[in-house]
Structure 1
Amino acid sequence: MRISYVFLGAFLAIVQSAFAEVASPPVLEPLKQQAQAAQLSAEFLTRFSYKPVPLDDALSARIMDRFIQSLDPDHALFLQADIDRFMSDRNEIDDAIERKNLDIPFAIFNVYAKRVVDRMNFARNLLKQDFDFGAQENFSVLRDKAPWPQSEAESNELWRKRVKSDWLRLKLGGKTDAAIRETLDKRYANALQRAYKYKSDDVFQSFMNAYTTSTDPHTDYFGATASADFNIAMKLSLVGIGASLQERDDYTTIRELVPGGPAQLSGKLSVGDRITGVGQGKNGAIKEVVGTRLDEVVQMIRGKKGTVVRLDILPADAGADATHRIISLVRDKISLEKQAAQKAVLSVKVGEATRKIGVITLPAFYEDFEARRKGDKDYRSASRDVRKLLDELKQEKVDSVLIDMRNNGGGSLKEAIDLTGLFIGSGPVVQQRDSDGKVAVSSADFPAPVWTGPVGVLINRGSASASEIFAAAIQDYGRGVIVGEPSFGKGTVQTVVNLDEVVRNSKPEFGDLKVTIAQFFRINGGTTQLHGVTPDISLPSFSDPARFGETSYDNALPWAQIKPATYKPIGTITALLPTLQRRHEARVESNPDFQRLLEDIADVEAQRNKGVVSLNEAERRRELTAREIRMKSRAQAGDGANTGEDDGLRANERSLIADIAIENARKNAKDVLLDEAAAILADEADLQEGVVKAATGQSENTEGK
């Protein structure tokens, strides 16, 4: 979590009337163990990081700037006078951490909470008036580098335009004035009431994020909740009831039931049901959770395997006074299958032939560390799952395998090495240089590759770390074709340190540090740091490198190079790349889906560069009409990518049915980039088959073989 000013929470009905004034939010103060954790973190980071950064005035200033930016990224809450006052302590944070004093960040956060309350009250009061949508006005949507308002009057004008922009978007979506007032009032009230639910843990997590990322973009601090979520993501399992929950209008609502989980198997819960109370054990008192923060409700429902949790349920769509029911569920281990490797088979025409392309989607390099340490022979991991899928694809007689690693942010280094081994057998995969300058080579050690046929890797800007190690190794060995856009550029190694274990603390108080300890280098000697992996065949993208990726960080490590490892290329892909590129260019030139994608990307880039939206209704309707005409022409051409017009609503403002329908439509939309990547893989299989036939003296027309 980089920006922690938005926290999951539920709407608590403190406000008695639509526009009633509310009291100031609670003043939060640091806890003793938080100050100790900050000081412990500083000791560790200044001694054991890959590139130690001294905790001095210079770092103090960076921490201050990053903390303020994380709270108010759009420069729309604080006034310039607030910033000037904060800056008087800009060089004091280092000394304060060493003295175990966190008054500075907590004082800043308390001002932030007051500003949220003030601005949300102002926004709600604006809803009493009407707006002139005939005026020629613009609203800036890129304010991260804009100056903070100099006065309250300037802030009021900024928020007048922001509320007007929100109103116009709903108006263009077909909402009546009454519906717009109700929707926006609820939206701003929800934001307002979050200020009453902030806890000292929220402030501390946000401050420690600012501190750690000021030393290195990928060094992080995990409090208890963040640490638990990290562990769940890595092992793809948790112990609970098997339900995806969402905050909707004051209630914790069931959005999805995990197949095979206790909630689904019980037959007692449905999507849309609302949890109004939680009780522990068979006889524990039911604690009401209406208005409770979602993360707190989740923690109450999770627990040890085999224990009982009781839920007070208000059925979906029932009125607030409807009859509730109490259900008991036994917690069990839940496998998060949606985040695991999955396969599909695509058929692609190449000339007169049809090629079968096996697609393996890998969202992360997960590994159940705990199960592996305990000696569980069936422990879950990315490479183990992919190996099973490769065996299944061989049974299905696919011609090529495409590994889809788009938005795979990394994970276990061991898994990246083992995954590479599935395609190369044995050999160096990655080099690591530690803080002392020592270089170690990590190798795959498989007797033979599991898949020897044509292979490709699909990457995008969201492919990072372990994904880049795998893609780079496949590229350096010439084993397969890399398709997509340049990857993230994260070439550093992190390890997680439990601070309680460091000081031999008997109870969990201080949290975990994810610390950068080394740098990755490809086996060819270059690093993936900053530059990432450059694809062999480039595909277009919506991402903005200036705002996403390693190059967007002001303190990223530079690119570097060391001596190459000893390895021998094992593939012939390099010789095929010119032909693959020519075929790709010819295909997309006549592909209407691909050309429409290019149009959409151009529109997004134009809007991004513009940085403002018009608040003139006629101008916006002209833009909307042009888009509708384009969408209708696509629909007539059979393009299923249209997921509906912008209704101006946020996800939790729609009905749950409508929200899920939109999500499903997006999932089922035509994946133009995946289709083209599969076509490239089909070409690769076609060309490699020709190479084999030429080498063995077979005729292209040989039959009966």
Structure 2
Amino acid sequence: MAAAGKGAQPALLKPTPNQEEAARYIAQYLLQNHYRKVPVNDSLAQQIFNRYLDNLDNNRSYFTAPEVEKLRQEVGVHLDDDFVSGNPARGFAIYNLFLKRAREKMVYMKSSLQTAQFDFSAPETLELERSKTAPWPADQAGLHELWRKELKYQYLSMKYSGEKGKNIRTELLKSFDNRIKIFNQQKPEDAFQAYMLAVTSSFDPHTDYFSPDEFENFQIDMSRSLEGIGAKLQMENEYTVVNEIIPGGPAFKSNRLKKGDKIVGVGQGDKGEIIDVIGWRINDVVKKIRGPKGTVVRLKVLPASQAGKGPARIIRLVRATVDLQEQAAQKKIIYKNGRKIGVIVLPSFYLDFEGERQQKQNYTSTTKDVTRIINELKRENVEGIIVDLRENGGGSLEEAVNVTGLFTGKGPVVQVSNALGGKMVLRDENYPMLYSGPLVVLVNRYSASASEIFAAAIQDYGRGLVVGDRTFGKGTVQSIVTIQRPFSMFMKQSDLGQLKLTIAKFYRISGGSTQHIGVLPDIVLPSLIDPEVVGEDTYTSSLPWTTVSRTPYLPSGTVSREEIASLKKQFASQSARNKLYQSYLADLATLNRIRQRKSVSLQEKSFEAENKALKEIQDRWGDANIETGKKKKTDFILQQAAGVLNDLVALKARPAIPAAVPAARPAVRQVVPVR
């Protein structure tokens, strides 16, 4: 097939009959079964249109403003009718225009790279994430000026990415050639997936369509048994993005790959060439990353913590089968001011559903493991317990409810509201309170779903302190639906794909939702995670925070509001005198200033200085749990949480003043007459 710009263009993509049929069923399922009841009108048409263009052209570097307005008037206004009728043809028309412009851009970049003499001393900047900050260019000249700056940025990024011995121009040319090849090999499935993503995510960000091939990969990811790196991936715009780090896998153990990171290159072994994978199909990227146990894969990553600023990092991982034992709850003992503190690390809420169903004696369960650990910690006479839920993306709802009961006793844990308005209360009926002592729950922005249910219940019962960052805010429930035709002996039932559909919403027992805002910590320990990139509120279509009626429950009163206020004040006073903590806050402030800038410098000295600052901050604080040679870095945030727990233990150890004896009232003496 001829390359773009040198001969015949690839044929225009058209939807297949199967895709047209699937689109009709997708519309029916969404309108009838989705939790959010979305009216089909001009507003929905514009939502689909805007979301589709943002997905295809997030940086507004392919289309011009007049083109977008023409598409809006001629195509966008009809997308609500197309949605109901299951007609994706106009979606394909937009995708074909995107491919045409994308080829033109790569040809321009190649030509410019071969002739350009870059001036890296000029005080130029490039706006990043232009969908939030800038309009589409006014004309073709505006596009070309934007492409010129992007080329300078890519050159600098590759120069400071840490890849040694590379000829930058040669590598960039190979990347552009590869991108042209990908654009020329697009199939109807690629256009259909892109358009359906805009449709489904207009209902909410966790509703998605899987083609038959994609669903096969989804099932492999869910089984968590394939040899690889232990990460679930998804497509966002042209990037392969880390959607979940699976506990027990190589990525989890390394603590370097994070949710939201963009994978832009993949290399095999320690010396294999890192191949640019921007614009690749997700299935093809997954095939590159998977491989035999014990082999090395190198990932070139744009870290989510840097908000797209700064060059890529190279992460080396050794492929392995996800170790279920590594997923299990683990115990630590740490000391703070002479006090022995127990830590329960919970990477996920896991359950061997099949083993439980068959009533096997030793089936895997979070509740069983946490029960064992609590008993061990009690025998070791710890003075308090930290439940570490950082990076815990959720898991089994049943296990989250049962584990909560180990700390709160029997009673309600979470409310679930379905699409029809029905509500049920999930409660722990089987597990009495096993631990009633001082408790801290440590969370961060990656703590989601079942983790938020546990943390919210501990907070509502007044059973302990929630410490750390605001949690993710995923308070919705999804179900996988197979798109099926009416029965036919001549057709397979599953060849239209599957739909992941949001069907319910979680609510705290106090009535508020965990959706959108997450769980707010009692004492804030800010992490390096960028809240503008990670979290439910970063999605434009996320369901809102709402409330339902409170369900009856009896707070334990272990930690009162007054005690929380006192501990908060004490933490602020101590941290103000803590030089290490103040140094951490200063670095975090620097990181946030870099993140909040809407543009990146194309002046090499400034670019290099900013990159150096980002790297130093990451080295100091970012990989707190990684072993470097024989020296293990201190988990700084865990130590701060231990300090809060230490203060809670000390507060509870103070003698209580009897409430029945008012201090201001003098005692009444009984006078006995002398006879």
Among 420, 424, 428, the alignment partner of 1:440 is 424
| Residue of structure 2 in register with 1:585 after alignment | 572
Among 619, 636, 641, the alignment partner of 1:677 is 641
User: Does residue 607 of the first structure (1) align with residue 591 of the second (2)?
Assistant: no
- Is the Cα contact below 8 Å between 2:128 and 2:598 reproduced in 1? yes
User: Does residue 617 of the first structure (1) align with residue 601 of the second (2)?
Assistant: no
- Is the Cα contact below 8 Å between 2:344 and 2:370 reproduced in 1? no
Identity %: 36
Q: CA RMSD in A?
A: 4.4
| Residue of structure 1 in register with 2:117 after alignment | 130
Among 459, 470, 478, the alignment partner of 2:443 is 459
Structure 1 pair 540–230 and aligned structure 2 pair: CA distance change class (3 A): same
Q: Distance in 2 between matches of 1:189 and 1:510?
A: 33
Q: Secondary structure at the match of 1:166?
A: helix
Q: Distance in 2 between matches of 1:488 and 1:298?
A: 26
Q: Secondary structure at the match of 1:687?
A: helix
**Counterpart of 1:605 in structure 2: which amino acid?**
N
- Is the Cα contact below 8 Å between 1:430 and 1:469 reproduced in 2? yes
- Is the Cα contact below 8 Å between 2:25 and 2:86 reproduced in 1? no
Q: Distance in 2 between matches of 1:426 and 1:315?
A: 48
Among 491, 513, 528, the alignment partner of 1:527 is 513
Post-superposition Cα deviations, 1:10-57, rounded to whole Å, max 9, x if no partner, equal xxxx999xx995864564332322222221121122122223213343
| Residue of structure 1 in register with 2:547 after alignment | 561
The gaps in structure 1 that reach 5 residues or longer are 1-13, 248-256, 260-269, 276-290, 303-308, 318-332, 644-660, 696-705
Q: Distance in 2 between matches of 1:89 and 1:663?
A: 55
**Counterpart of 1:193 in structure 2: which amino acid?**
K
Q: Distance in 1 between matches of 2:288 and 2:474?
A: 36
Structure 1 pair 218–293 and aligned structure 2 pair: CA distance change class (3 A): closer
**Counterpart of 2:82 in structure 1: which amino acid?**
A
- Is the Cα contact below 8 Å between 1:530 and 1:557 reproduced in 2? yes
Post-superposition Cα deviations, 1:359-409, rounded to whole Å, max 9, x if no partner, equal 4132x4344545555665555454444445445545555433322223433
**Counterpart of 1:601 in structure 2: which amino acid?**
L
Deviation at 1:157, TM superposition (A): 0.8
| Residue of structure 2 in register with 1:403 after alignment | 387
Q: Which deviates more, 51-60 or 122-131?
A: 51-60
| Residue of structure 2 in register with 1:205 after alignment | 193
**Counterpart of 2:343 in structure 1: which amino acid?**
G
- Is the Cα contact below 8 Å between 2:88 and 2:195 reproduced in 1? no
Deviation at 1:668, TM superposition (A): 6.2
1:18-57 residue pairs with structure 2 within 5 A? 24=9, 27-57=12-42
Deviation at 1:481, TM superposition (A): 0.7
User: Does residue 179 of the first structure (1) align with residue 167 of the second (2)?
Assistant: yes
Structure 1 pair 120–406 and aligned structure 2 pair: CA distance change class (3 A): farther
| Residue of structure 1 in register with 2:238 after alignment | none
**Counterpart of 1:126 in structure 2: which amino acid?**
S
User: Does residue 84 of the first structure (1) align with residue 72 of the second (2)?
Assistant: no
User: Does residue 66 of the first structure (1) align with residue 78 of the second (2)?
Assistant: no
- Is the Cα contact below 8 Å between 1:41 and 1:513 reproduced in 2? yes
Q: Distance in 2 between matches of 1:418 and 1:619?
A: 53
Post-superposition Cα deviations, 1:263-301, rounded to whole Å, max 9, x if no partner, equal xxxxxxx955989xxxxxxxxxxxxxxx99773596799
Structure 1 pair 372–423 and aligned structure 2 pair: CA distance change class (3 A): same
Deviation at 1:567, TM superposition (A): 1.0
Q: Distance in 2 between matches of 1:467 and 1:668?
A: 27
Structure 1 pair 336–40 and aligned structure 2 pair: CA distance change class (3 A): farther
| Residue of structure 2 in register with 1:492 after alignment | 476
Among 548, 551, 555, the alignment partner of 2:537 is 551
Post-superposition Cα deviations, 1:437-481, rounded to whole Å, max 9, x if no partner, equal 332211012242343333222222332322221111010111111
Q: Distance in 1 between matches of 2:326 and 2:216?
A: 17
Q: TM-score, normalised by structure 1?
A: 0.73
Q: Distance in 2 between matches of 1:592 and 1:171?
A: 35
User: Does residue 162 of the first structure (1) align with residue 153 of the second (2)?
Assistant: no
- Is the Cα contact below 8 Å between 1:360 and 1:404 reproduced in 2? yes
Structure 1 pair 511–451 and aligned structure 2 pair: CA distance change class (3 A): farther
| Residue of structure 1 in register with 2:651 after alignment | 687
Among 341, 361, 382, the alignment partner of 1:356 is 341
- Is the Cα contact below 8 Å between 1:42 and 1:55 reproduced in 2? no
| Residue of structure 1 in register with 2:497 after alignment | 511
**Counterpart of 1:570 in structure 2: which amino acid?**
S
Deviation at 1:116, TM superposition (A): 2.3
Structure 1 pair 176–468 and aligned structure 2 pair: CA distance change class (3 A): closer
Q: Secondary structure at the match of 2:149?
A: helix
Q: Secondary structure at the match of 1:440?
A: strand
Q: Distance in 1 between matches of 2:520 and 2:232?
A: 38
Post-superposition Cα deviations, 1:69-99, rounded to whole Å, max 9, x if no partner, equal 1111111122334423432111322333444
Q: Secondary structure at the match of 1:486?
A: coil
Q: Distance in 2 between matches of 1:198 and 1:394?
A: 60
Q: Distance in 2 between matches of 1:177 and 1:297?
A: 25
| Residue of structure 1 in register with 2:128 after alignment | 141
Deviation at 1:524, TM superposition (A): 1.2
Deviation at 1:181, TM superposition (A): 1.5
Deviation at 1:502, TM superposition (A): 8.6
- Is the Cα contact below 8 Å between 1:25 and 1:117 reproduced in 2? no
- Is the Cα contact below 8 Å between 2:27 and 2:86 reproduced in 1? no
1:208-223 residue pairs with structure 2 within 5 A? 208-223=196-211
- Is the Cα contact below 8 Å between 1:273 and 1:316 reproduced in 2? no
Q: Distance in 1 between matches of 2:295 and 2:655?
A: 65
| Residue of structure 1 in register with 2:399 after alignment | 415
Deviation at 1:186, TM superposition (A): 3.2
Q: Distance in 1 between matches of 2:110 and 2:29?
A: 46
Q: Distance in 1 between matches of 2:431 and 2:192?
A: 49
Q: Distance in 2 between matches of 1:371 and 1:299?
A: 31
Q: Distance in 2 between matches of 1:356 and 1:63?
A: 52
Post-superposition Cα deviations, 1:619-652, rounded to whole Å, max 9, x if no partner, equal 4456568x49x95xx99xxx85488xxxxxxxxx
| Residue of structure 2 in register with 1:94 after alignment | 80
Q: Distance in 2 between matches of 1:676 and 1:301?
A: 36
Structure 1 pair 413–232 and aligned structure 2 pair: CA distance change class (3 A): farther
Deviation at 1:153, TM superposition (A): 1.8
Structure 1 pair 93–339 and aligned structure 2 pair: CA distance change class (3 A): farther
Deviation at 1:187, TM superposition (A): 3.4
**Counterpart of 2:71 in structure 1: which amino acid?**
F
Q: Secondary structure at the match of 1:582?
A: helix
| Residue of structure 1 in register with 2:664 after alignment | none
Q: TM-score, normalised by structure 2?
A: 0.76
Q: Distance in 2 between matches of 1:112 and 1:425?
A: 57
